[in-house]
A and B are shown apart, each in its own frame.
Chain A
Amino acid sequence: DGGITQSPKYLFRKEGQNVTLSCEQNLNHDAMYWYRQDPGQGLRLIYYSQIVNDFQKGDIAEGYSVSREKKESFPLTVTSAQKNPTAFYLCASKASGVSYEQYFGPGTRLTVT
C-alpha cells in the first residue's frame, strides 16, 4: 500500500535533548511538508521541501531543522532551542503537476518534560 509513515507514534524526551521525527513516503511525491498541531490552533507549517536537497522555512521554523537527502524521506529534528516542543507533528506530501491536495501521515505525538 502506498502512503506516508511516521515513527514513532509517541515520543518522550527530556528538556534540552534534540529529537528527530521520521517521515517516509512511497507515493513518489516530490513535495513534502511538516506541520505542528496544538489544541485549538489548527496546523502550522514548519518546513517544506519541493525537491531533493532543497527546503524552505515555513511560518514557525525556529528551533527546528530538516534534511531532504532522498525523495522518500523528510526527517524533522526538534532542537533544544525550540521553547515549547510538546505537540502533535504531522508530515504530508504532494504530487507534482495537477494534483493539489496534500496527503498526511498518522502523526507523532512528542512530549518533552
Chain B
Amino acid sequence: AQSVTQLDSQVPVFEEAPVELRCNYSSSVSVYLFWYVQYPNQGLQLLLKYLSGSTLVKGINGFEAEFNKSQTSFHLRKPSVHISDTAEYFCAVSDRKDSSYKLIFGSGTRLLVRP
C-alpha cells in the first residue's frame, strides 16, 4: 500500500532564511503529488501539484517542489520565508491508476518561522 513519509514533524527557521520540507513516498507506481498548507483550525489549501512534465513545480506564495522519481521524493522549498508562512504542511500522493483519486497524506510538518 502507498505511504507518505514526512520525516520532520517540526522545522524551525528564521525569517528570510531558506527552507526545505521533505517528503518521500513508498510506491514505485506512477503517482500524482501534492503539497497542501493548513493554518490553525482551518481547512487545507493547495500549494502546488505535480501531474506530469517538468519535475520542478512552482506554486503559490513563492513555494516550489521538485519531483525525483528515482528517489521517490517531492521536497518543498522556499528561498526566503516570512512569518506568515508559519503553518502545517502536508504532502499527499494519489495513485494514477486509482479512479477514486484518493489522497494518501503524510503526517505533516509544522513550519515555525521566527523573527
Contacts and interface: CB of A to CB of B under 8 A. Distances in A.
Interface of A: 4, 6, 31, 33, 35, 40-45, 48, 50, 56, 58, 88, 90, 92, 94, 100-107, 109
Interface residues of B, number: 25
A43 B43 contact: no
A82 B4 CA distance: 26
B42 interface: yes
A68 to B, nearest CB: 14
15 contacts: A4-B43, A6-B43, A31-B100, A33-B103, A35-B105, A40-B9, A42-B6, A42-B108, A50-B100, A58-B102, A90-B44, A100-B51, A101-B46, A107-B41, A107-B43
B32 A48 contact: no
Nearest to B45: A104
Contacts of B46: 101, 103
Interface string B23-34: 000000000101
B90 A42 contact: yes
A103 B46 CA distance: 8
Contacts, number: 58
- The CB with the most chain A CB atoms within 10 A, among B51, B94, B103, B106, is that of B103
Contact of A106 (B43, B94, B103): B43
Interface of B: 4, 6, 9, 32, 34, 36, 41-46, 49, 51, 90, 94, 99-103, 105-108
Contact of A90 (B43, B100, B107): B43
